[in-house]
Each structure stands twice: as structure tokens, then as C-alpha cells.
């Protein structure tokens, strides 16, 4: 007889008439709980002297003299419930988290039903969107390769707009592409992209991945479907039939301060 916890974490305490029996029958289990929460048996004379202590050692509840079995058992039940419930709930939560999350999660959608990709998207990385040709079939850089690239990309004077440098296989070619000016001819005035596009955190690799695209596995943007090709053709035709400044939505995203790729 004792505190029962079902598979859903529901705690059921015994009836009041059985509290005294519970205190005697489960002395060992209750002692473990008592030790964990800081209840100490200070002295055994005519009866136990009990004190409930806080973690810091301050006396919260205490009474000298003999405590009735019913009162003692009631305290034990409250403590046992408080101690056991979080443990059981945590175990059940961890067991269900892997399967339930995958089964119940659905991608967020916009009001018109499209995938909701709203958020803070940054270009603060040299990791390319698509996997470069010389890295075909290679999903990850080694730790050594990633460290060397990160060091090269975050060096002083690197042009933040030199995104194509990652597409070069040679370290020497990347080094040439990463800088706008010759730093060794004595005329380097440092008035370039690195100056006005520099950020507090140097731009390096976002991870050891060789592309931001993870699916398809080849790291490439898949070809358009026939329907998408028709929509693109219609959009191009519409742009040719109107003036470049007929509406603000016609202007490039960077001009409208929506996206500034660098």
C-alpha cells in the first residue's frame, strides 16, 4: 500500500485511515525520500523530534515532542508525491518526445497555404547555397578543412562580398579572390567592402557542411517543374510589358531594403 502513480503520471494517495500503516510498512522508502528533501530525525527519546529544513538549512516547519503517526505519514505522503511526480513525468516526456514530436509536428503555413519561412535570415556565412563542383559528393568538410577555411575567410581585410571564393579549389586562388586590393604595394587604403560591410562577428563558415542545401543530397537546387517554368516565363513577359518604375514591387529587393546579399 502506498502512493500509486499510473502510466500517465497521476498520483493517488491512500485513504486517511491507512496513513499510519503506510508509515510503518514503507519506512525504508520514506527514509530515502526524507533524506533527499532534507527532513532529519534529530533525536529519538520518548518520540521522534522532526524538523523540515530548507536547502539553505533554515527551519521551515518543526515541532518537538512526539508526532502522531497520522501527522507524520501525511507529511511523508506530501513529500513523496512532490519528489516522485517530476521524475516520472520527466521519464515519460523523454520517452514520448522522439516519436510523438515527429508524428504530430506539421510545418507552419501562411494564410494562403504556403510554407511559412518567415524569420531572421542572414547571409553572414561563406557556406555556399549550392555545393561547388569540386566538392561534388562531399557533404561535409573535415574538421581540419573547415578550420583552415574559417581562418582564411575571417582574416583582416577579407571582402564580405567575395562569396564565390568558396567555389575555388586552390587556397591561393581563394586568397586572391578574397581581397579587393593589393595589400603589399604600399597603397592599400582599406576603403572597400571590408570596411563598410564589416560586422562584429567575422564572416566564416556556418558549419562543416559544404552547402546550405541539405536535400536533395547533392546539395543542388532541383530543376523547375514544367508548371514553374511556365510561371517564370509569364513573369518575364509581364516585366517586359511595363515600365521599370511603374510600381515599387517591380524594383529589386536590395533597392527596397528587403534583402542585401553580402
Long-range contacts of 16-25 (CB under 8 A, 24+ apart): 16/70, 19/69, 19/70, 19/73, 19/74, 19/77, 20/69, 20/70, 20/73, 22/73, 22/76, 22/77, 23/69, 23/72, 23/73, 23/76, 24/69, 25/1
Angle 27-37/69-104 helices, nearest 10 degrees? 70
Cell readout for 73 is 505519514
Q: Is there a single domain that holds both residue 82 and residue 142? A: no
Q: Is there a single domain that holds both residue 146 and residue 82? A: no
Q: For residue 243, is it within any domain?
A: no
pLDDT score at 97: 59
The residue among 224, 220, 199, 222 whose CA lies nearest residue 210 is 220
Give per-residue pLDDT as tens, 61-120: 444 444 455 554 555 555 555 554 554 445 555 555 555 666 788 889 999 999 898 887
In total, how many domains does the chain have?
Answer: 2
Q: For residue 21, is it within any domain?
A: yes
Q: For residue 248, is it within any domain?
A: no
Q: For residue 195, is it within any domain?
A: yes
Q: Is there a single domain that holds both residue 162 and residue 215? A: yes
Q: Is there a single domain that holds both residue 143 and residue 209? A: yes
DSSP secondary structure code for residue 38 in this structure: T
Q: For residue 249, is it within any domain?
A: no
Name the domain boundary from 46, 68, 95: 95
Q: Is there a single domain that holds both residue 75 and residue 13? A: yes
The residue among 27, 2, 1, 5 whose CA lies nearest residue 86 is 5
Residue 166: burial class (beta carbons within 10 Å; 0-12, 13-18, 19+): buried
Task: Please state the pTM of the whole predicted model.
Answer: 0.48
> How many percent of the chain have pLDDT more than 70?
53
Give per-residue pLDDT as tens, 90-107: 555 555 555 566 678 888
The residue among 90, 87, 86, 69 whose CA lies nearest residue 26 is 69
Q: For residue 217, is it within any domain?
A: yes
Q: Is there a single domain that holds both residue 84 and residue 143? A: no
Q: For residue 216, is it within any domain?
A: yes
pLDDT score at 228: 94
Mean pLDDT lowest for which of 45-54, 140-149, 153-162? 45-54
Q: What is the residue range of 174's domain?
A: 133-222
pLDDT higher than 80, residue 11: no
Q: Is there a single domain that holds both residue 89 and residue 29? A: yes
Residue 212 or 180, more confident = 212
Distance CA 160, CA 203 (A): 7
> How many percent of the chain have pLDDT more than 90?
21
Q: For residue 18, is it within any domain?
A: yes
Amino acid at each position: 500500500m502506498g502512493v500509486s502513480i499510473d502510466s500517465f503520471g497521476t498520483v493517488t494517495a491512500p485513504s486517511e485511515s491507512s496513513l499510519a500503516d503506510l508509515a510503518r510498512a514503507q519506512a525504508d522508502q520514506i527514509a530515502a525520500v526524507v533524506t533527499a528533501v532534507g527532513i532529519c530525525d534529530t533525536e529519538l527519546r520518548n518520540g521522534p523530534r522532526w524538523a523540515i529544513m530548507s536547502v539553505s538549512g533554515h527551519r521551515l516547519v518543526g515541532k518537538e515532542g512526539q508526532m502522531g503517526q497520522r501527522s507524520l505519514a501525511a507529511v511523508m505522503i506530501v513529500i513523496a508525491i512532490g519528489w516522485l511526480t517530476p521524475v516520472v513525468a520527466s521519464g515519460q516526456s523523454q520517452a514520448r518526445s522522439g516519436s510523438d514530436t515527429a508524428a504530430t509536428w506539421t510545418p507552419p503555413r501562411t494564410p494562403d497555404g504556403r510554407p511559412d519561412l518567415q524569420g531572421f535570415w542572414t547571409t553572414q556565412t561563406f557556406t555556399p547555397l549550392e555545393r561547388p563542383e569540386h566538392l561534388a559528393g562531399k557533404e561535409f568538410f573535415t574538421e581540419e578543412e573547415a578550420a583552415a577555411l574559417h581562418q582564411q575567410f575571417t582574416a583582416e581585410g577579407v571582402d564580405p562580398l567575395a562569396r564565390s571564393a568558396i567555389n575555388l579549389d586552390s587556397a591561393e586562388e581563394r586568397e586572391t579572390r578574397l581581397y579587393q586590393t593589393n595589400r603589399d604595394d604600399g597603397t592599400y587604403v582599406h576603403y572597400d567592402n571590408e570596411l563598410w560591410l564589416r560586422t562584429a562577428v567575422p564572416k566564416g563558415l556556418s558549419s562543416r557542411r559544404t552547402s546550405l542545401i541539405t536535400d536533395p543530397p547533392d546539395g543542388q537546387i532541383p530543376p523547375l517543374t514544367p508548371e514553374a517554368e511556365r510561371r517564370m516565363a509569364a513573369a518575364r513577359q509581364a516585366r517586359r510589358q511595363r515600365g521599370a518604375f511603374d510600381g515599387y514591387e517591380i524594383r529589386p529587393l536590395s533597392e527596397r531594403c528587403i534583402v542585401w546579399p553580402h
